[in-house]
Structures are given as C-alpha cells and as structure tokens.
Structure 1
Amino acid sequence: MTDSVEPAGERRTRKRVNHYGTGRVALLDAAVRVVARGGLRRLTYRAVAEEAGVTHGLVVHHFGSRDALIEEAVTHAIRASLSSSTLGTGAGRPADFATGLTDMVESGPELQAFQYELLLEARRRPELLTHLRSLYEEYFEATRRELSRMLPGPVDRGLSRLVFAALEGLVLHQLVFGEREVTEEALTRLRTVLEGLAEG
C-alpha cells in the first residue's frame, strides 16, 4: 500500500485547531471570544467554528439553534466568572473582600466583555433578560453571602446590590481603561467602608 501524494502547489491547507478546551466547552469559550470582540450580532455558527478551529457542522450539531448557543454561552460565562471571582472565598474579613478582582479582569477580559455585551443586548432583545436575570441572581447571592459572613446582623438586598454594583463598575472601568491601580485603590476604600460597618 502506498501513500497518495498530492502534486506540489495543490496540497490542501488544513485548518489549525485551537485547543482552548475540549468539545462543547471549547465551542462556548469560542462563542464568548466572538461576542467579546464583535458584539452579539457577530455570533454565528461560522464565526464560532472559525474561532474554535472546527467545522461549521460541529457547532450546529452541539447547539441546534443560535438561541441555544447564546443561552448556553451566557450560562457558561457566568459560571466561569463566578468560579474565577473571589466572592464567597474570603475568610469573612473585610480586609479579604474581593481580593483578586483585578487579576480576574486581567486574566479573563473576554469573559467580562461578553457579559457586558449581553447586558446591553438584553435591552434590545428582552427574551435574553429572563435568563440573564436568573444568572445574575447568583452574583447577587454570592455577594450577600460574603457580606453576611463579615457584617453583624442581616444583610439586606439594598446593601448587597450596592456593593455588587461597585464591584461590577470597577470591573467595567478596568476592562475599558486598564487602570489596575485605580481599581485597587477603590477596593481598598470599599474594604475600609465594610470594616466600619463590621465594627458598627
């Protein structure tokens, strides 16, 4: 048996496969990067396939519809962001609150940008809002739990949302302006406020 040899100049170029993950997770990571760079309108089967280095048909096979791809990418992004955040991992001391936030932004900017793109798109596509809201509840609850570990008495929704909004705003500003040191300064001030509440 002999190997077939293609004439020089007629060899087919093979698509380079990016190994960001395996299977479905790799496709979801690719979807996150596509949306982070070009917005939700750029999210197509072909764009995801090209980003992941796979065939268009493989993306169709895994998700079946663009809406299913979007929904699963949102879930994937929030879960990945929660697992990389420091909410819920502190020692219950204000001095430890949100440590690692700046590193999280620097190590996963696409993940953060994807979420902001989806939030803005939800204003134009209300069908996204229900899913986003239920997933954001996980952020809100993680913030409330962490505050409850460090503050006396019950933590109400207003306080937990205020603190989460501060964190989310700092992430957005670092993502856009790249001013890590400003984020760190603001977090230091936030921890001082929380220390005051803990002592009070």
Structure 2
Amino acid sequence: MTETDETGRPAKPRKQVSYGTGRLALLDAAIRVVARGGLRKLTYRAVAEEAGVTHGLVVHHFGSRDALIEEALAHTVRTSLNISALETGSGRVADFSAGISDMVTDDPDTQAFQYELLLEARRRPELLGQVRGLYDEYFDATRRELSRILPEDADEGLTRLVFAALDGLVLHQLVFGEPGVTEAALARLRTLLRLLDADGDGEGDVGDAGDGDGAARPDQA
C-alpha cells in the first residue's frame, strides 16, 4: 500500500538512516529546516520529512521539541569549533580562525541556524539560557587560543571583541557571500594580534606571508 501525506498525496520515499548515525542525521535535518524557514517551521513532521524517516523516530530520539532545539544548537557549535580553527592549540597567529570563510561557504545552513536561534531568543526568553550557555563555548575557545598567542592571558573584553569581529564576518559572508572579503579582514585581525604580541614570541609567525597583510610586527621594524 502506498503511503500518503496529510494532503492525500503520495509521501516522499524515506531515506535509509544507518544505525549509529540516525541521531546526527536528524540533527542535520533540523538545522536545514530552521536555516530555510526559521524556528517556527521546526516540527517533528518537517524534520522527519527532511531526513526521510518516520515521525515517530524523531520523537523517539528527542522526546520534545525543546530537546531537539538544544541538541541541534550544541551540534552546530561543536561542528563550527572543529571546522573554523578557532582553537587550534598551536598558539600561532597564522593559524587563528584559518577555516572560517571555508566553513561558511561549505555549510551555510549550520551558521544560519545559529543566527536564527539568536534572534528567536530575543522573542522567546526561555531560549536565552541555552543560547548563552552554548555560545560561552565559543567565548572560552577564543579566550584560550588568544591566551596561547599573546604574552598575557586574554581578558573578557579582548575575548569578546575578537569573537564579535569573527561573528560579524561570518554573518556578512553568510548574507553577502564574498569569502575574499572575509579572508582580507581576517588577515588584518591577525596583524592586530601580532601587534599585541609585543614580546615577539609568536613562534613561526615572523616569516608568515600567507595572510597577505605584509605588515611587520613591532620587533621586526
């Protein structure tokens, strides 16, 4: 018997979701739904249709819409941290956020989902705690990497300033495209970080020409 959707039309064939990857597949489907239509479009049925699975499977994995939102947001933060090179652990200025423009180009839905949640948190204060807590992961990663790069640990003000610059660049590329503009701005940001590293101990950065900024550090003048 052919299955039908709520309009009586034949339902789309369901995709096979491999055991062990089903939860991630559903999170990715939720991210795509929100990125295209906003949080108001996020329903069990929409996620199931996007993933090509049964409605009941989404309920089984998450139990509530709020749990689905929270886990999807956590998933996007983990993905972005892994891809963006926000925290490489190398302490080299040239490595800082080296993957940001490619991250936006390759997976815009993940970034769009996060901005949708940020805006929705203004309208629904109950989401603010989730969004704030998960974005603290970005702030902490930025602070740790800046503290590796600079002679002294980065304070909250500098951390927020640098992350705000990165966040703005991601948003602008998401809306306007122009990854080259993002890369040029990142090069200037790295130049500023070199200027803050007055001790000149950024190993490997002295000869870095890959950023294309051509700016000498104070100890190279």
Question: Structure 1 residues 86, 66: CA separation in 2 closer, same or farther (over 3 Å shift)?
Answer: same
Question: Which residue number in structure 2 is paired with residue 179 of structure 1?
Answer: 178
Give the structure-1-normalised TM-score: 0.89
1:34 aligns with 2:33: yes
Partner SS state of residue 26, structure 2: helix
Give how far 1:100 is off.
Answer: 1.4
Partner in structure 2 of residue 23 of structure 1: 22
CA contact (8 A) 1:85 1:101 kept: yes
Please report how far the alpha carbon of residue 52 of structure 1 lies from its aligned counterpart in structure 2 after TM superposition. Answer: 0.1
Secondary structure at 2:75's aligned position in 1?
Answer: helix
Amino acid at match of 1:173: H
In the other structure, the counterpart of 2:79 is 80
For 2:28 and 2:13, the matched residues in 1 are separated by: 18
User: In 2 relative to 1, CA 93–46 (structure 1 residues): closer, same or farther, beyond 3 Å?
Assistant: same
Cα gap change, 1:14 to 1:128, in 2 (>3 Å): closer
Q: Aligned pair 1:118/2:123, yes or no?
A: no
The range that moved more, 110-119 or 57-66, is: 57-66
Letter in 2 for 1:41: R
CA drift at 1:95: 2.2
Other-structure match for 2:134:
135
Shift in CA distance, 42/13, structure 1 to aligned 2, threshold 3 Å: closer
Distance 1:132 1:74, change over 3 A: same
For residue 168 of structure 2, what is the aligned residue in structure 1? 169
- The residue that corresponds to 2:189 in the other structure is 190
SS at match of 2:197: helix
Aligned counterpart, 1:55: 54
Provide Cα deviations, 1:131-180, integer angstroms capped at 9, x if missing partner: 11111111001000110011111211000000000000000001110011
What CA distance in whole angstroms lies between the structure 1 residues aligned with 2:63 and 2:94? 47
User: Take 1:85 and 1:13, find their aligned partners in 2: how far apart are those partners?
Assistant: 38
Asked if structure 2 preserves the Cα contact closer than 8 Å seen for 1:74 and 1:115, the reply is: yes
Q: Is the 8 A contact 2:85 2:95 kept in 1?
A: no
Amino acid at match of 2:15: V
Q: Which has the higher helix share?
A: 1
Between the aligned partners of 1:145 and 1:22, the Cα distance in structure 2 is 31
TM-score by length of 2: 0.81
**RMSD of aligned alpha carbons:** 2.0
Distance of 1:59 and 1:27 partners within structure 2: 7
On the 8 A contact 1:90/1:97 being kept in 2, the answer is no
CA shift for structure 1 position 27? 0.5
How far apart, in 2, do the equivalents of 1:96 and 1:54 lie? 40
Q: Does 1:91 align with 2:68?
A: no
In structure 2, the gaps of 5 or more residues are 3-9, 200-221
Kept after mapping to 2: 8 A contact 1:88/1:142? yes
AA aligned to 2:96 is F
